[in-house]
Amino acid sequence: MDFSYTDIDWRALLVKKYKLYNLKEIDVVTLLLIDQLEKIDPQTPILSSTLTTYMTVPADQIDASLSRLLDKKLITYEVVDLVPKLSLKGLFDKLFSDLQKDILLKKDDSGKVMSEIHEMLLSELKRSSLSPVEMDKVSAMLREGATVKMMKVAIENIRNKGQNPTINRIASEVLRLEKEDDFSKEGYTARNEESRDDSKLRETLMGSWLEDGDKKK
């Protein structure tokens, strides 16, 4: 039986994926507000001025967020019955597509790589297991092209600095190595350099946003 984004908890996926999409916390709140406001009154156009009523950030930051989301094609403007409306279809398609890729990653030969890296990390960190958040970070590194060899080099570099390796330190060092490799091959890197603390966002979303079990119709 086929399934689509209406069958998944897209809000929870967004919280997990937004950093991979180079989005800011304000972008996440903007997307959630757009979805909620459309449910409240589908006929009301959602503009920057509409969102300012519900957000504490300045209007220019909301404008920048909308522009960023439009540029990434996560939202689009559509005219329905002569009313301009914001559509989240681009976001839903992106989240659903990436979820499918994650599922396939676990099923195909790449799953063997994940298993190898998992065992290597448990051995190197002298741990019996990794937390779900740590596993997400490992999966993100794999999607960005990290290899077992690169992670081992990262761990060695961390220890050479007199530090104990952790998943966060490994992820940071792997990112540095990837950027270094980009510069050596291409002369530049397009990898995101921002390091965001999403703890406040997670606290905010622990309320009605994630408790809302209604599916997108």
b/e sequence 8-17, b meaning 16+ C-beta within 10 Å: bebbebbbbb
Q: Could you tell me the pLDDT band of residue 68, with boundaries at 50, 70 and 90?
A: very high
pLDDT at 186 over 80: no
> Model confidence at 109, in pLDDT bands (50, 70, 90)?
low
pLDDT at 111: 61
Question: Is the model's pLDDT at 197 over the cut of 70?
Answer: no
| Res. 169: pLDDT tops 90 | yes
* pLDDT for 215: 43
pLDDT at 26 over 50: yes
Terminal CA-to-CA distance of the chain, rounded, Å?
Answer: 18
- Of 193 and 181, which is predicted with more confidence? 181
Residue, of 193 and 53, whose pLDDT is higher: 53
In terms of average pLDDT, the best of 6-10, 108-112, 118-122, 142-146 is: 118-122
Angle at 71 (CA atoms; ends 140, 188), nearest 5 degrees: 55
Question: In this predicted structure, which of 6-15, 75-84, 88-97, 103-112 has the lowest mean pLDDT?
Answer: 103-112
pLDDT-based confidence at residue 207 (cuts at 50, 70, 90): very low
Question: Per-residue confidence at 202, pLDDT binned at 50, 70, 90?
Answer: very low
pLDDT of amino acid 208? 40
Listed range (60-64, 83-87, 183-187, 191-195) with the worst mean pLDDT: 191-195
Helix (H), strand (E) counts: the chain? 11, 2
What three-state secondary structure class fits 186? helix
Above pLDDT 70, what percent of the chain?
Answer: 77
Distance CA 62, CA 10 (A): 22
Query: What's the whole-number mean pLDDT along residues 103-117?
Result: 64
The SS3 of residue 85 is strand
DSSP secondary structure of 135-178 = HHHHHHHHHTT--HHHHHHHHHHHHHTT----HHHHHHHHHHHH
Mean pLDDT (the chain) is: 78
Please state whether beta strands 76-80 and 83-87 pair in parallel, antiparallel, or not at all (unpaired): antiparallel
User: Is residue 217 very low, low, confident or very high in pLDDT (cuts 50, 70, 90)?
Assistant: very low
Find out whether 105 and 139 touch, Cβ atoms under 8 Å. yes
Beta strands in the chain (DSSP E): 76-80, 83-87
| Cβ contact 176:4 at 8 Å | no
Q: Contact 96/216 with Cβ under 8 angstroms?
A: no
pLDDT at residue 150 tops 60? yes
* Sequence letter at residue 138: V
Strand partners of residue 76: 87
Is 20 within 8 Å of 77 (Cβ atoms)?
A: no
pLDDT at 2 over 70: no
Dist. CA 155–CA 170, nearest whole Å? 6
Q: Which of 161, 160, 162, 189 is nearest to 177 (CA)?
A: 189
